[in-house]
Amino acid sequence: MKKIIGISALLVFICLVTWLKAPNFATAYNIQNVVRWSSLFGIVSIGVSFVIITGGIDLSIGSVIGLTGCLLPYLLVQSGFSVPAAIVAVLAVSLLIGLIHGLLITKLRLQPFVVTLCGLLIYRGFIRWLTDDRTQGFGTSYDGVRVMAIGKLSIGSIGIPMPFVILVFVAILAAFFLNNTIYGRYLLAIGRNEEAARYSGINTDRMKIIAYVICALLSGLGGILFALDVNSVQPSGQGNFYELYAIAAAVLGGCSLRGGEGSILGVIIGATVMRVLYNSINIMGLPTQLEFAIIGLVILAGVIADELIRRYAAGRRAIQAAAQLKSDAAPAASPALTKAEPAK
Amino acid sequence: MKCPLLEVHSVTKRFPGVMALRRVSLTLYPGEVLAVVGENGAGKSTLMKILAGVQEPDSGTIRVDGEPVRIGSCRAATALGISLIHQELNLAGNLDVGANIFLGREPRRMGWISKKKIHDQSKSVLKRVGLDVCPGTLVDTLSIGQQQRVEIAKALSANARVLIMDEPTSSLSSGETDALFKVVKDLRGKGVSIVYISHRLGEVKELADRVTVLRDGQNAGDLARDEINHDSLVRLMVGRELSQFFARSKQTPGLPTLEVRNLITPAHPGHALNFCIRAGEIVGMAGLVGAGRTELLRVLFGMDRALSGSILVDGKPVSPRNPMEAISAGIALVPEDRKQQGLILEMAVRENLTLPGLEKNKRAAGVLNRAWELLDAKQLIAQLRIKTPNCEQAAQYLSGGNQQKIVVGKWLAMNPRVFLLDEPTRGVDIGARQEIYKLMESLAAKGIAILFASSDMEEVLGMSDRAFVMHEGRITGELTHDELSEEAVMRLATGGHKLVLN
């Protein structure tokens, strides 16, 4: 919870600074744009956070976004698939990719870094070969589908971008899965100590495979939405570096790369911070060449601040605990089940 | 009276939720073995970490040769001549013995590491610890006992005057233990002071010149050489008289509950195992380290697959391919390594206790049953008397004994038919140890078949209705309650050769 407050404060701070320096940050058009793109990255980041929670990593996300983003228009335009068939086919491909990652990592005990790094290269190469490196697009005949990415849900005078609606739906499902089902608990347990989880009778292989499938599926969904949004998809460039954005968002949002920690809300706010930063660099007229450097510095500052706050809090907890020990000098026979100190 | 080499005066150290040390004092004279004993959580490890520079005290003074010192780092401790031999050894297995001894302070010749100096100096210091291996041997190829003596050699080569040994015999075979004792006595004769931490009172009796007892982070008392005996130690450690360690009365066992027929484990493919445990029986499994006990338990629990043979629970054949299948067949395992295998240290006591039972008690679509979870955790905490401020405390902040109660307790909700325990009381203090024994007895009284592996002879002799002994992967013999004796167990554990006991 503290982490979410911290990252939210960072987000508000960046928004305020940008707004003060560049008042057109707060135009409806700009805000809608930022929300739309934050939502797209949010969906993908939720996916990778499941993998990170198990202590793994997925580097293939950008290539999966490129693959699915090109495959959808390719199937629709070149192969003449119907819209539902094409979407189902693309999601099936994503699912298959996640399944293969998971199986290689659990059954063959390959390292996630290696498996998904190879995936990054393979899917990119494959889609460039399949499309002959030609830009893919939907033309004008699929505007009905593109509503999913560029449309708005109007509530009164406010137009809510469709990707945000999809994000909210995905996030609610993901948060419920992580926090309120036994499977979420299993994922957290595996991330903390996989061996002990196995000794407790958890099917660790299955849970890890599920995590990689969720990640690939959400990457595929993201890929579809990104493609629908831009309408002109380059097989060589679509989604490049997106895995790093997603991982950074997850880390900013409170996931530990050691595994076992993470919250969906935090990850979404993390993704938003990334997009707002990108937007403010543009809108404040900073040199775009500095984009990566600025994003990198802000993430680093965020992570450092988080670590310092964590240490400070741990120190204070120690002092409080000592004071409490002193105050109840004669501990009763059974100190169990006494008043609960707030754990987190 | 000689001038003390090391004095610890009124040291206090706090951790989140615990007062680890409260005004603890300790004095160490040159050339003596001081045993520091106490239950788990008594503060021994913290005190030793402070002496070794791993942690700094909140208050109090430490004097070396009468001079107040501040030990801010391991390097500072080494410079003062204090070396800690950890319970888990800290050697680089991929380097050779000589390189490990001089790690971080390699002798140089014109800027290059002098292999020759390392070799020669290592040889002489290895001789002091009675280890006859070439300094060029890879550490990984040595036994645990040999590695431990390499650590001691490393400390001696850094001119250690104070050696702190934390549970040094916890993973040694009896031969290696004897060799270690010889080294300890030898070093004492040469003026090295040794702080010896142990749970094993027999060792303390044999080695210690004096004993300092800690209880609940405070000094409970000191004992001189001629005051050291079992009763006085236990009285100081637990603060009350104990008439008897265990009180296992003779039982009449029920129907066969766990049957193992011609089972061949992958670790020892040359030997088939056969045994049967009846309902309500507590069967001990003795043997030296590496005898194949853990490997057998792993197969029974589905962590490893048997090569052939059959396992029957209540007469029904089961061949668990993984722990899930073993658990659903009614088998539970308390594994050997509490922190790596038994617990998820960062998770709450509640989450650890309920982890195996989540599946069985889930709501529709896998939704957590939080009401059950909380109830189950609170019940178990009360029933097992787990000392924790609340059920949301992370398991890592509990003492070893309370942690072990969680590892046992998490299976109770699963209603197992067969309870397997691997070293159930390793690193557990006497108080919690007795509670675990009582728990084992109450489980047996409910008709559960219990099989436990233990290297603790007192435990095997005291708790078993019947015991079998393993040696190099085979069962060398079975002993009834009346036949159980230290000599009989040791004879079988060493492969049938009569062991000469000193």
- pLDDT, tens digit, for every residue of B169-198? 877 777 888 888 999 999 999 889 999 988
| pLDDT tens digits along A97-149 | 999 999 999 999 999 999 999 999 999 999 999 999 999 999 888 888 888 88
The per-residue pLDDT for A344 is 37
The per-residue pLDDT for A324 is 54
With a pLDDT cut of 70, the percent of chain B lying above it is: 94
The per-residue pLDDT for B54 is 86
How many whole angstroms from its chain centre is CA A244? 10
Q: Look up the CATH architecture of domain A2-288.
A: Orthogonal Bundle (1.10)
The per-residue pLDDT for A334 is 38
The per-residue pLDDT for B414 is 92
The per-residue pLDDT for B171 is 72
Supply the mean pLDDT for chain A: 89
Chain A: residue nearest B14 by CA? A322
Chain B: residue nearest A340 by CA? B390
Q: Which residues of A touch B385 (CB under 8 A)?
A: 334, 336
Written as six digits, the tokens of A180 are 């309120």
How many whole angstroms from its chain centre is CA B408? 16
Closest approach of A316 to chain B, Cα-based (Å): 9
According to DSSP, the β-strands at B256-264 and B82-85 are unpaired
Q: Residue B194 is which amino acid?
A: I
Q: Which residues of B touch A260 (CB under 8 A)?
A: 346
pLDDT at A342 over 70: no
The per-residue pLDDT for A170 is 98
Indicate the CATH number for domain B6-238: 3.40.50.300
- In angstroms, rounded to a whole number, what is the distance separating the alpha carbons of residues A143 and A160? 18
- In angstroms, rounded to a whole number, what is the distance separating the alpha carbons of residues B23 and B29? 20
The per-residue pLDDT for B350 is 96
Q: Which residue reads 């999913």 in tokens?
A: A148
Written as six digits, the tokens of B373 are 């979870």
Span A54-79, mean pLDDT? 96
Say yes or no for a CB contact (<8 Å) between B389 and A343. no
CB atoms within 10 A of CB A293: 11
The per-residue pLDDT for A341 is 42
When pLDDT is cut at 50, 70 and 90, the band that residue A307 belongs to is: confident
Q: Hey, what CATH class is B244-330+416-502 in?
A: alpha beta
With a pLDDT cut of 90, the percent of chain A lying above it is: 69
The per-residue pLDDT for B252 is 76
Q: Which of B327, B340, B368 sits opposite A195 (nearest CB)?
A: B340
pLDDT at A331 over 90: no
| pLDDT tens digits along B237-254 | 766 544 445 556 666 778
The per-residue pLDDT for A333 is 37
The per-residue pLDDT for A321 is 56
- In angstroms, rounded to a whole number, what is the distance separating the alpha carbons of residues A220 and B105? 54
Say yes or no for a CB contact (<8 Å) between A341 and B389. yes
Q: Which residues of A touch B365 (CB under 8 A)?
A: 181
Say yes or no for a CB contact (<8 Å) between B327 and A201. yes
- In angstroms, rounded to a whole number, what is the distance separating the alpha carbons of residues A279 and A136? 26
pLDDT at A332 over 80: no
With a pLDDT cut of 70, the percent of chain A lying above it is: 92
Closest approach of B167 to chain A, Cα-based (Å): 24
Least confident of B219-233, B268-282, B303-317, B332-346: B219-233
Say yes or no for a CB contact (<8 Å) between A343 and B393. yes
pLDDT at B139 over 60: yes
- Is B210:B27 a contact under the CB 8 Å cutoff? no
Structure pTM?
A: 0.79
Q: Which residues of A touch B388 (CB under 8 A)?
A: 335-336
How many whole angstroms from its chain centre is CA B61? 31
pLDDT at A318 over 70: no
Span A180-208, mean pLDDT? 96
Which of B19, B344, B375 is the best substitution to test chain A (most A C-beta atoms within 10 A)? B344
Nearest to B313 by CA among B230, B398, B239, B256: B256
DSSP per-residue codes, A263-304: -HHHHHHHHHHHHHHHHHHHHTT--GGGHHHHHHHHHHHHHH
Chain B: residue nearest A317 by CA? B16
Contacts of B438 (CB under 8 A, 6+ apart): none
pLDDT at B219 over 60: yes
| pLDDT tens digits along A228-260 | 999 999 999 999 999 999 999 999 898 888 888
Say yes or no for a CB contact (<8 Å) between A198 and B343. no
Which of B345, B347, B422 is the best substitution to test chain A (most A C-beta atoms within 10 A)? B347
- In angstroms, rounded to a whole number, what is the distance separating the alpha carbons of residues A329 and A339? 16
Say yes or no for a CB contact (<8 Å) between B362 and A182. yes
When pLDDT is cut at 50, 70 and 90, the band that residue B28 belongs to is: very high
- In angstroms, rounded to a whole number, what is the distance separating the alpha carbons of residues B340 and B171? 16
The per-residue pLDDT for A1 is 67
| pLDDT tens digits along B85-104 | 887 778 888 889 989 898 88
Chain B: residue nearest A316 by CA? B16
Least confident of A281-295, B386-400, B482-496: B482-496
Least confident of A304-318, B326-340, B346-360: A304-318
Say yes or no for a CB contact (<8 Å) between A182 and B366. yes
Domain range summary for chain B, segments of one domain joined by +: 6-238, 244-330+416-502, 344-411
Instruction: Tell me whether the CATH fold assigned to B6-238 matches the one assigned to B244-330+416-502.
Output: yes
Which of A53, A177, A200 is the best substitution to test chain B (most B C-beta atoms within 10 A)? A200
Alpha-carbon dihedral angle through residues A103, A107, A110, A114, given to the nearest 10 degrees: 0
The count of CB pairs under 8 A between chains A and B is: 119
Say yes or no for a CB contact (<8 Å) between A185 and B344. no
Q: Which of B348, B389, B392 sits opposite A338 (nearest CB)?
A: B389
- Is B210:B36 a contact under the CB 8 Å cutoff? no
| pLDDT tens digits along B415-470 | 999 999 999 988 777 778 888 998 999 999 999 999 999 877 778 888 899 999 99
- Is B129:B152 a contact under the CB 8 Å cutoff? yes
Least confident of A144-153, A333-342, B274-283, B365-374: A333-342
Degrees, nearest 5: CA angle A165-A229-A147: 55
Say yes or no for a CB contact (<8 Å) between B16 and A314. yes
- Is B52:B83 a contact under the CB 8 Å cutoff? yes
Say yes or no for a CB contact (<8 Å) between A202 and B355. yes
When pLDDT is cut at 50, 70 and 90, the band that residue A40 belongs to is: very high
Q: Which residues of B touch A322 (CB under 8 A)?
A: 14, 19
The per-residue pLDDT for A323 is 60
Which of B58, B327, B355 is the best substitution to test chain A (most A C-beta atoms within 10 A)? B355
Q: Residue B44 is which amino acid?
A: K
Q: Which residues of B touch A198 (CB under 8 A)?
A: 303, 322-323
- Is B356:B334 a contact under the CB 8 Å cutoff? no
Written as six digits, the tokens of B439 are 């728990």
